[in-house]
Structure 1
Amino acid sequence: MNFTSAQAVINHLYALPRLHPKADLSYINRVLQILGNPQNQVKTVHVTGTNGKGSTSYYLSNLLQKAGQKTGLFVSPYVFSFNERIQLNGERISDHDLVNVANQVEEAILQVQRQDPDFGLVIFEYEVVLAFVYFVQKKCDYAVIEVGIGGEHDKTNVITPEVSIITTIGLDHEEVIGPTIKEIAQEKSGVIKFQRPVVLGYIPAEALPIITHKAAAEAAPVKRLGLDFSLTWGRKILYSDKFHTVKLTSRPQVEEIDAALAICAFSLLHLPLSSGEVAAAINQTVIPGRYQIVQERPLVILDGAHNVQAMQSLLAFVRQEQVDRRGRLRILLTMMQDKDMEQVFALFNQTEEVELTTLDYQRAAKKADFPGWVQQKYPYQPDWQEAYREMRQASQTNDILLVTGSFYLVGNILQMEDKNAGTGK
Structure 2
Amino acid sequence: MFQTSEDVIEWINDRKKFGIKPGLERMKWMMEKLDHPERRLRTVHIGGTNGKGSTTTFLRSILQEGGSEVGTFTSPYVECFNERISVDGNPISDEDLVKAAEAIKPLTDELEKTELGAPTEFEIITAMAFYYFARIHPVDILIVEVGLGGRYDSTNIIHPFVSVITNVGYDHMNILGDNLMDIAMEKAGIFKSGQPVITTVQNEEILKKYEEIVQKNRTTLYKLGEEFTYEDLGPTENGESFTVKTLYKTYENLEISMIGRHQIENATLAIMVAEYLRQFYAINVEEEHIREGLKKAYWPARFDIVLEKPTVILDSAHNKEGINSLVETLNRHYPGKKGSILFTALKDKPVDEMLQTLEQLDYPIYFTEIDDPRASTAEELFEKSNATFKEIVKDWQGFLSNKLATQSDDEILIVCGSIYFVSEAKSFLKK
Tell me, yes or no, if the aligned pair for 1:367 and 1:375 is still in contact at 8 Å. no
Q: Are the counterparts in 2 of residues 329 and 400 from structure 1 also a CA contact under 8 Å?
A: yes
Structure 2's unaligned 5+ residue stretches are 235-240
Distance (whole Å) between structure 1 residues aligned to residue 382 and residue 395 of structure 2: 20
Please report the TM-score for the alignment, with normalisation by the length of structure 1. Answer: 0.92
In the alignment, residue 8 of structure 1 is paired with which amino acid? Answer: D
Higher deviation after alignment, 24-33 or 288-297: 288-297
Match of 2:237 in 1: none
Alignment-derived partner of residue 255 in structure 1: 263
- 1:18-38 Cα distance to aligned partner (Å, 9 max, x none): 667962200111011111111
Q: 1:363 aligns with which of 362, 374, 377?
A: 374
Q: Which residue of 2 aligns with 1:333?
A: 343
For residues 228 and 200 of structure 1, what CA distance do their matches in structure 2 show?
10
SS at match of 1:408: helix
Aligned to 1:349: 360
Could you say which residue in structure 2 is the equivalent of 1:422?
none
Deviation at 1:117, TM superposition (A): 7.6
Task: Give 2:243's aligned amino acid.
Answer: L
For the Cα contact (< 8 Å) 1:18–1:124, is it kept in 2? no
Q: Superposition pairs for residues 409-420 of structure 1, below 5 Å?
A: 409-419=421-431
Q: Distance in 2 between matches of 1:168 and 1:252?
A: 16
What is the CA distance between 1:319 and its match in structure 2? 2.2
Secondary structure of the corresponding residue to residue 321 of structure 2: helix
TM-aligned CA distance change 1:191 to 1:19, over 3 Å: farther
Q: Does 1:121 align with 2:116?
A: no
- What residue is the counterpart of 2:83 in the other structure? 84
Question: Superposition RMSD on alpha carbons, in Å?
Answer: 2.0
Counterpart pick for 1:269 among 260, 272, 277:
277
The answer to whether the 8 A contact 2:274-2:285 is kept is no
Give percent identity, aligned residues only.
29
Q: Matched residue of 1:223: which SS?
A: strand
Q: 1:389 aligns with which of 377, 390, 401?
A: 401
Following superposition, the deviation at residue 215 of structure 1 comes to 1.1
Aligned mates of 2:110, 2:405 — CA distance in 1: 57
How does 1:16-415 map onto structure 2 within 5 Å?
A: 16-17=15-16, 23-112=22-111, 116=114, 119-136=117-134, 137-234=136-233, 236-246=241-251, 247-249=253-255, 251-270=259-278, 271-323=283-335, 326-347=336-357, 348-349=359-360, 351-370=362-381, 372-374=383-385, 378-415=390-427
- In structure 1, list runs of 5 or more residues that go unmatched: 420-425
SS of aligned partner of 2:392 = coil
**Alignment partner of 1:207: what SS?**
helix
Preserved contact between residue 163 and residue 190 of structure 2 (Cα < 8 Å): yes
- SS of match in other structure, 1:47: strand
More displaced stretch, 149-158 vs 393-402: 393-402
SS in 2 for 1:55: helix
Q: Which amino acid aligns with 2:162?
A: V
Cα offset, 1:190, TM superposition: 0.8
3-state SS of paired residue (1:30): helix
Q: State the shift of 1:315 in Å.
A: 0.5
1:364 is displaced (CA, Å) by: 2.6
CA distance in 2, matches of 1:161, 1:350: 42
Structure 1: distance between partners of 2:181 and 2:318: 21
Counterpart-to-counterpart distance in 1, 2:42 and 2:72: 12
Deviates more, 1:39-48 or 1:333-342: 333-342
